[in-house]
């Protein structure tokens, strides 16, 4: 016989299969039909304890029907409807790559409403060892710590939006452990090494000029690739960054107001 508890506290009853089931309302569909979440146990006391935890988690929460979508579906919706006008095209390409190659591939079929912190932690642990689509010469299929951190930040941001939209009650990325920031020591060429490098490329004038400008000015790769003769004012001894180039999935053009820099 069902054992009904006070209004708002859910219900607890013994099933025909001998298990106890605790159930609460977590939200409503568009037509007003309630949506339930249940916990199960062999003993009444342990099931009641789970029910109380469930009540505490979902107290004052009324989720919408969209909580039934998968994580992969939500990530697509988040990018297409929430982020499309907030971030640059290059950043969007990076987000989509993370969604397709890591999130969807490993955890995308998980239903949004049932995604747990333990699920996210297992996901991070797995991609740390085998998250790369194609093997790296040194890392194999493992991802670097910085990439795992980037995936975490993307997923955290998307699930924060899901909380605001009442698709989930809390962000399951909270409480996970991710790799700490680690930076490889940069290799700086000594004068003798730099002379050897410049001698090696001196035979091809264009490459000599390219790397000479890079070394003497500190320009980024995209800025250097977009540099034209018209951007250099020889009389004033300055150059202007007019059109840095970046690699994207579409035509890569970015125009910025020119800023004069002194020539070396």
The pLDDT tens digits of the residues spanning 107-126 come to 999 999 889 999 999 999 99
Task: Give the model's confidence band at 15: pLDDT under 50 very low, under 70 low, under 90 confident, else very high.
Answer: very high
Question: Span 158-162, mean pLDDT?
Answer: 96
Beta bridge partners of 22: 12, 39
Per-residue pLDDT at 252: 41
Of the listed ranges 3-12, 25-34, 92-101, 241-250, the least confidently predicted one is 3-12
**Cα Dmax for the chain:** 94
Number of neighbouring beta carbons within 10 Å of residue 31: 6
Per-residue pLDDT at 121: 97
What are the structure tokens assigned to 249, written together?
A: 């999935």
pLDDT above 70 covers a percentage of the chain that reads 88
Per-residue pLDDT at 232: 78
Spatial distance between the Cα atoms of 106 and 126, rounded to a whole number of angstroms: 8
Of the listed ranges 9-23, 38-52, 238-252, the least confidently predicted one is 238-252
What are the structure tokens assigned to 260, written together?
A: 């004069």
Radius of gyration of the chain (CA): 28
Residue predicted with more confidence, 171 or 207: 171
Residue 1 has pLDDT above 90, yes or no: no
Of the listed ranges 26-40, 45-59, 91-105, 233-247, the least confidently predicted one is 233-247
Beta-strand runs (E) in the chain? 3-4, 11-14, 20-28, 34-41, 232-233, 238-240, 260-262
Burial class (CB in 10 A: 0-12, 13-18, 19+), 218: exposed
Number of neighbouring beta carbons within 10 Å of residue 110: 18
In this structure, the strands spanning 260-262 and 238-240 are antiparallel
What mean pLDDT, rounded, does the chain reach?
83
Per-residue pLDDT at 247: 62
Question: Is residue 165 within 8 Å of 113, Cβ to Cβ?
Answer: no
Question: Span 238-262, mean pLDDT?
Answer: 57
Spatial distance between the Cα atoms of 24 and 183, rounded to a whole number of angstroms: 47
Indicate yes or no: pTM above 0.85: no
What are the structure tokens assigned to 159, written together?
A: 């699930």
According to DSSP, residue 85 is labeled T
Give the pLDDT confidence of 117-155 residue by residue, as tens digits.
999 999 999 999 999 999 988 889 999 999 999 999 999
Spatial distance between the Cα atoms of 55 and 158, rounded to a whole number of angstroms: 25
Token pair 């001998």 is at which residue? 18
Question: Span 220-247, mean pLDDT?
Answer: 77
Residue 70 has pLDDT above 90, yes or no: yes
Question: Is residue 256 within 8 Å of 243, Cβ to Cβ?
Answer: yes
Q: How many residues does the chain have?
A: 264
């Amino acid at each position: 016989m069902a054992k009904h508890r006070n209004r708002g506290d859910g219900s607890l009853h013994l099933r025909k299969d001998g298990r106890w089931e605790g159930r609460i309302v977590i939200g409503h569909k568009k037509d007003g039909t309630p949506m339930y979440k249940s916990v199960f146990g062999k003993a009444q006391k342990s099931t009641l304890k789970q029910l109380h935890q469930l009540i505490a988690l979902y107290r004052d929460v009324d989720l919408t029907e969209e909580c039934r979508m998968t994580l992969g579906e939500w990530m697509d919706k988040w990018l297409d409807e929430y982020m499309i006008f907030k971030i640059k095209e290059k950043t969007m390409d990076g987000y989509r790559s993370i969604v397709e190659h890591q999130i969807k591939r490993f955890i995308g079929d998980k239903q949004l409403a049932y995604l747990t912190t333990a699920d996210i932690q297992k996901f991070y642990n797995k991609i740390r060892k085998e998250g790369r689509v194609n093997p790296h010469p040194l890392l194999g299929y493992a991802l670097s710590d910085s990439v795992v951190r980037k995936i975490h930040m993307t997923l955290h941001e998307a699930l924060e939006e899901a909380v605001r939209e009442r698709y989930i009650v809390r962000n399951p990325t909270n409480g996970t452990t991710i790799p700490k920031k680690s930076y490889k020591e940069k290799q700086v060429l000594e004068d003798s090494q730099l002379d050897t490098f410049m001698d090696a490329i001196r035979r091809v004038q264009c490459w000599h000029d390219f790397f000479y400008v890079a070394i003497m000015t500190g320009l980024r790769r995209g800025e250097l690739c977009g540099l034209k003769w018209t951007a250099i004012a020889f009389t004033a001894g300055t150059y202007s960054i007019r059109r840095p180039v970046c690699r994207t999935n579409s035509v890569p053009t970015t125009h910025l107001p020119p800023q004069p820099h002194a020539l070396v």
